[in-house]
Amino acid sequence: MVDVLPTIVSVPGFKVAGVHCGLKKNGALDFALVFSDAPCTAAGVFTTNRVQAAPVLVDMERLKATPDRIRAVAINAGCANACTGQQGIDNALQTARWVAEYTGCGEDEVLVMSTGVIGTQLPMDKIKRGVELAAGALGENHWEAAARAIMTTDTRPKMASAALTAANGQPYQIAGIAKGAGMIAPNMATMLGLVVTNARFPAPLQPLLHAAAEQSFNRIVVDGDMSTNDTVLLLSNGQSGALETPVGQYPDAVRAVSRKLALDIVRDGEGATKFISILVTGAPDEAAARLIANTIATSSLVKTAFFGSDANWGRIVAAAGRSGVPVNPDQLRLWLFPGETTTGTEGGLLLFENGMPTAYREEQAGDIMRLPSVSIRLDCGAGDGAALVWTCDLSAEYVAINADYRS
């Protein structure tokens, strides 16, 4: 197990900055730059939305062409650069060109990410100023500024890091930042995330990042919507001298940092008042378990019941029933747990079995539902398939945030 810290001190070999260049109206940080002292091996996981933002298209191409010499990642908030046509592509490329100019790397060694409103062009005068300011502010200890600069409706920055020792005895660091809050759906990376490490890993990073995302960013649901910009990048530059092996802690560390960031996103879900863990067991297979868990996690009726601290288990059972998996209601068993208990039945309150509610006391269920962290386990009694998904409740605040987002 890898111990993950909720902050980032530094990852020697990487410099970062978070600055304000006028993209956010309120003077908050809105442009981040991460720069590596040496070429990085890099990997990316991107939105599966058919409508992909310009920075997604640019990064996918660059990671295909030059995955072994990425030097910088520039991230702006305030504008998603999505649905912006050829001009959007040109603007993403120009952003990278400026980064190359101001930092002295090659322009095809720069990746870009954008987040914010869809359908407006990047204000390039502000972007240029952002690149200039950020290049001048690069330092090893500015991770929090960078994490703040990529926030949109997030209420707090999301960071994670870990310090490890490689197979060759050298210490190294791994760190990540992320943004998210709404438009968080259960399939594929559903936000912006960047994970960097100064270790070197002797195998392709793409499958490793994909596996980590499968266990983290792809297991969270806020509202079921999927963005045009979702991207997670992994950069590995080997500057610590640490050389890992495929069986070392490196894959675990990437997964653990990704998971911490993913859970932070759910905890900071738009308007969220509750953190909810949904474990489905006993399904025909893992895909079926995941489908059931995601159907429960995206149900507006389930989410509003959690907001109301109402143990309305009927909505959970009904969501499982419409998931498309042929569940047998007489075989279902549903438990409610306080906190983040994710396996077993101990400490759980059995609400439903044999096609009927148990004789549980409604007050006891209510006491659990009022906690800020609640778990459910639904066992389908039909196999060994299991899946764990994290979500949050649906509050009136979510509606207010999203009704007024562009104003």
Catalytic residues: 190
Select from 22, 28, 48, 153 the one that contacts a second copy (CB under 8 A).
48
DSSP character for 30? -
From CA 14, how far away is CA 103, in angstroms rounded? 13
Size of the site for a second copy (CB under 8 A): 69
**Interface with a second copy includes 124 (CB under 8 A)?**
no
For 313, counting Cβ atoms within 10 Å of its Cβ (0-12 exposed, 13-18 middle, 19+ buried), the class is buried
- Give CA torsion, residues 146, 148, 150, 152, to 10 deg: 180
Site for a second copy in 251-310 (CB under 8 A): 298-301, 304-305, 307-308, 310
3-state SS track over 359-383: CCCHHHHHHHHCCCEEEEEEECCCC
**Interface with a second copy includes 83 (CB under 8 A)?**
yes
CB of 183 to a second copy, least distance (A): 6
Select from 149, 191, 283, 320 the one that contacts a second copy (CB under 8 A).
320
**Interface with a second copy includes 9 (CB under 8 A)?**
no
Of 311 and 387, which has the nearer Cβ to a second copy? Answer: 311
From CA 336, how far away is CA 349, in angstroms rounded? 5
Token reading at 344:
């077993």
**Interface with a second copy includes 405 (CB under 8 A)?**
yes
**Interface with a second copy includes 385 (CB under 8 A)?**
no
**Interface with a second copy includes 122 (CB under 8 A)?**
no
Q: Is the backbone of residue 307 left (phi > 0), alpha (psi -120 to 50) or beta?
A: alpha
Question: What is the pairing mode between strands 349-353 and 356-357?
Answer: antiparallel
Site for a second copy in 179-198 (CB under 8 A): 182-183, 185, 187
Select from 85, 247, 346, 359 the one that contacts a second copy (CB under 8 A).
85
Question: What is the pairing mode between strands 373-379 and 333-338?
Answer: antiparallel
Of 104 and 326, which has the nearer Cβ to a second copy? Answer: 326
State the residue for tokens 């210490």. Answer: 171
Which among 197, 198, 195 is positioned nearest to 209, based on CA atoms?
A: 195
From CA 332, how far away is CA 296, in angstroms rounded? 14
CB of 135 to a second copy, least distance (A): 30
Select from 123, 241, 314, 381 the one that contacts a second copy (CB under 8 A).
314
Letters for 327-356 (x = contact with a second copy by CB under 8 A, - = none) are xxxx-x-------------------x-xxx
**Interface with a second copy includes 46 (CB under 8 A)?**
no
CB of 235 to a second copy, least distance (A): 27
Which among 314, 248, 327 is positioned nearest to 281, based on CA atoms?
A: 327
CB of 313 to a second copy, least distance (A): 7
**Interface with a second copy includes 227 (CB under 8 A)?**
yes
DSSP character string of 278-315:
EEEEEESSHHHHHHHHHHHHH-HHHHHHHHTT---HHH
DSSP character string of 80-122:
---S-HHHHHHHHHHHHHHHHHHHTS-GGGEEEEEBSBTT---
**Interface with a second copy includes 372 (CB under 8 A)?**
no
**Interface with a second copy includes 246 (CB under 8 A)?**
no
CB of 222 to a second copy, least distance (A): 9
Of 28 and 401, which has the nearer Cβ to a second copy? Answer: 401
Query: What residues form DSSP beta bridges with 194?
Result: 177, 233
Of 205 and 266, which has the nearer Cβ to a second copy? Answer: 266
CB of 45 to a second copy, least distance (A): 16
**Interface with a second copy includes 383 (CB under 8 A)?**
no
Q: Residue 110 corresponds to which amino acid?
A: V
Binding region for a second copy (CB under 8 A): 48-52, 80, 82-85, 87-88, 117-120, 182-183, 185, 187, 223-228, 298-301, 304-305, 307-308, 310, 312-315, 317-322, 325-330, 332, 352, 354-357, 394-396, 398-400, 402-407
